[in-house]
């Protein structure tokens, strides 16, 4: 049992930082994907069932420092009310008398949602007096927003300073995220394979470097693989390439060799004559792509080789697609990897998938429930695996 599950929140007001940063339809402001709201329901329900009340605070989008209709959290009220099956109170300003009074009058079983925290620039600045004002609403503080755990914002980290250590908790979602990430990074059962894909080497260099000290194997796929092939002297046609990262890629391969980490690059690629769904396609060795063509997915030999590595692993981390999986013609590589991760999990491996695109991919292929943990954190998960201390975690631990 965790501290959160052991604690009874009866007659307590819980100030919960949630991540209700959900996508909204541009004209109707209807929620187009409510995954993030659903993910935090167990935490809210546990507190309400204990006989506590709940004050929810979140950001939505990137307002420019003041109220903006399109970023109002009132747009999530109706859906939240449906999902919790109760009326939700709303404070149209997260700071001030109205919010304070509504929080003060809150009765056990009741829920209050505060307006977007980022309507105040103080939120992102981590302003102490702003955090202190928020802290006054609750008897206890619960952080259930893993997606913003890498930010030292007022509501994600600073506010925790105003609660004693026995009055601050990770919520159930946050707890699952942190324990899964720690299991992969610190309590690793070997062999450990990290599958890193996506567009850019520059976005993933820090995670790759940190994983060199942890992983048995690193699979590199997606657009970023071609910078490695170019660095090794290959012809990559019009494939994605970061010219200013060629030496970084070379160094990384050298370090991996020194540390005994096996780097797997895709030996062959599905190539296309343009970046489009109706492109002509063919396959080719990834280090010899004809001029005018570009690699947009991993091909059969690479799929088989990667599958083999994955099926022999006990711990699997996956961040970033193997190709342009949004287009049907270039989705097979990513699909094949998702299937291999699911199969390895079924055979007893622990798998963690994170980052918007890889999560979208496992959802697209209906494999999310066959993965040990699908993370809600993009940037936060990356920073965790880069070896950084996340302020939202540190504030509670
Ligand atoms: P990232 O945000 O860096 O994880 O990159 C994800 C994006 O990389 C997705 O939108 C993919 O379509 C794209 N991507 C993956 N493989 C390739 C490739 N070979 N060429 C161009 N884009 C790619």
Using CB atoms within 10 A of its CB, is residue 201 exposed (0-12), middle (13-18) or buried (19+)?
Answer: buried
Cα(316) to centroid of ligand 1, in Å?
Answer: 20
134-163, pLDDT tens digit by residue?
A: 999 999 999 999 999 999 999 999 999 999
Mutation test of ligand 1: which of 194, 195, 199, 318 has the most ligand atoms closer than 8 Å to its C-beta? Answer: 199
Of 128, 356, 364, 387, which is the active-site residue? 356
300-309, pLDDT tens digit by residue?
A: 999 999 999 9
Residue with tokens 């007893």: 348
Query: Minimal CA–CA distance to 312: which of 339, 349, 342?
Result: 349
Mean pLDDT calculated for residue range 182-206: 95
Specify whether 17 is catalytic.
no
18-32, pLDDT tens digit by residue?
A: 999 999 999 999 999
Mean pLDDT calculated for residue range 94-99: 97
Alpha carbon distance 386, 394 (integer Å): 16
**Is the confidence at residue 385, as pLDDT, over 80?**
yes
Residue with tokens 């961040």: 319
Could you tell me what percent of the chain has a pLDDT over 70? 100
Cα(91) to centroid of ligand 1, in Å?
Answer: 40
| Alpha carbon separation from 353 to 236, 254, 359 (Å, rounded) | 29, 27, 7
| Alpha carbon separation from 339 to 130, 356, 393 (Å, rounded) | 47, 18, 32
Q: Name the band, by pLDDT with cuts 50, 70 and 90, for residue 65.
A: confident
In DSSP terms, 269 is beta-bridged to: 284, 298
Domains of the chain, each with CATH number or no CATH: 3-175 (3.40.50.1260), 188-385 (3.40.50.1260)
Phi (first) and psi of residue 316, to 5 degrees:
-135, 125
Share the mean pLDDT of the chain: 96
Do strands 111-114 and 140-143 pair parallel, antiparallel, or not at all (unpaired)? Answer: unpaired
DSSP 222: S
For residue 280, the tally of other CB atoms under 10 A from its CB is 11
CA-nearest residue for atom 6, ligand 1, is 198
Q: Under a CB-based contact definition with an 8 Å cutoff, are residues 44 and 174 in contact?
A: no
**Is the confidence at residue 1, as pLDDT, over 70?**
no
Using CB atoms within 10 A of its CB, is residue 291 exposed (0-12), middle (13-18) or buried (19+)?
Answer: exposed
277-316, pLDDT tens digit by residue?
A: 999 999 999 999 999 999 999 999 999 999 999 999 999 9
Specify whether 36 is catalytic.
yes
207-225, pLDDT tens digit by residue?
A: 999 999 999 999 999 999 9
Specify whether 356 is catalytic.
yes
**Is the confidence at residue 122, as pLDDT, over 70?**
yes
Q: Say yes or no: CB of residue 357 within 6 Å of ligand 1.
A: yes
The number of the ligand 1 atom at minimal distance from the alpha carbon of 321 is: 15
Query: Minimal CA–CA distance to 133: which of 95, 165, 164, 97?
Result: 95
**Is the confidence at residue 2, as pLDDT, over 80?**
no
Phi (first) and psi of residue 278, to 5 degrees:
-100, 25
Q: Say yes or no: CB of residue 207 within 6 Å of ligand 1.
A: no
Whether the full predicted model's pTM is greater than 0.75, yes or no, is yes
The number of the ligand 1 atom at minimal distance from the alpha carbon of 226 is: 19
């Amino acid at each position: 049992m965790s501290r959160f599950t052991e604690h009874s929140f009866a007659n307590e007001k819980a100030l919960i930082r949630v991540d209700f940063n959900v996508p909204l339809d541009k004209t109707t402001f209807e929620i187009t994907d409510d995954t993030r709201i659903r993910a935090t329901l167990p935490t809210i329900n546990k507190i309400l069932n204990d006989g506590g009340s709940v004050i929810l605070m979140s950001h939505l989008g990137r307002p420019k420092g003041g109220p903006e209709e399109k970023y109002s959290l009132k747009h999530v009220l109706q859906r939240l009310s449906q999902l919790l099956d109760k009326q939700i109170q709303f404070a149209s300003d997260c700071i001030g008398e109205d919010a304070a009074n509504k929080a003060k009058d809150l009765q056990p079983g009741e829920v209050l949602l505060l307006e977007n925290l980022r309507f105040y620039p103080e939120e992102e600045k981590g302003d102490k007096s702003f955090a202190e004002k928020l802290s006054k609403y609750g008897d206890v503080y619960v952080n259930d927003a893993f997606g913003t755990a890498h930010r030292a914002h007022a509501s994600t980290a600073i506010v925790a300073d105003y609660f004693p250590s026995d009055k601050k908790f990770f919520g159930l979602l946050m707890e699952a995220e942190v324990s899964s990430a720690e299991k992969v990074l610190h309590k690793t059962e070997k062999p450990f394979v990290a599958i890193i894909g996506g567009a850019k080497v520059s976005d993933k260099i820090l995670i790759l470097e940190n994983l060199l000290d942890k992983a048995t194997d690193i699979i590199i796929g997606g657009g970023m693989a071609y910078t490695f092939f170019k660095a090794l002297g290959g012809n990559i046609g019009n494939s994605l390439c970061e010219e200013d990262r060629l030496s970084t890629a070379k160094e990384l391969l050298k370090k991996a060799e020194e540390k005994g980490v096996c780097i797997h690059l895709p030996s062959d690629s599905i190539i296309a004559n343009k970046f489009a769904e109706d492109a002509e396609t063919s396959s080719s060795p990834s280090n010899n792509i004809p001029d005018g063509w570009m690699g947009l997915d991993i091909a059969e030999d690479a799929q088989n080789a990667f599958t083999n590595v994955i099926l022999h692993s006990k711990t699997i981390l996956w961040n970033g697609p193997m190709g342009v999986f949004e287009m049907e013609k270039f989705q097979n590589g990513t699909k094949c990897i998702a299937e291999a991760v699911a199969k390895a999990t079924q055979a007893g491996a622990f798998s963690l998938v994170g980052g918007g695109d890889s999560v979208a991919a496992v959802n697209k292929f209906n494999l999310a429930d066959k993965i040990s943990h699908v993370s809600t954190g993009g940037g936060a998960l990356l920073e965790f695996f880069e070896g950084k201390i996340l302020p939202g975690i540190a504030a509670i631990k």
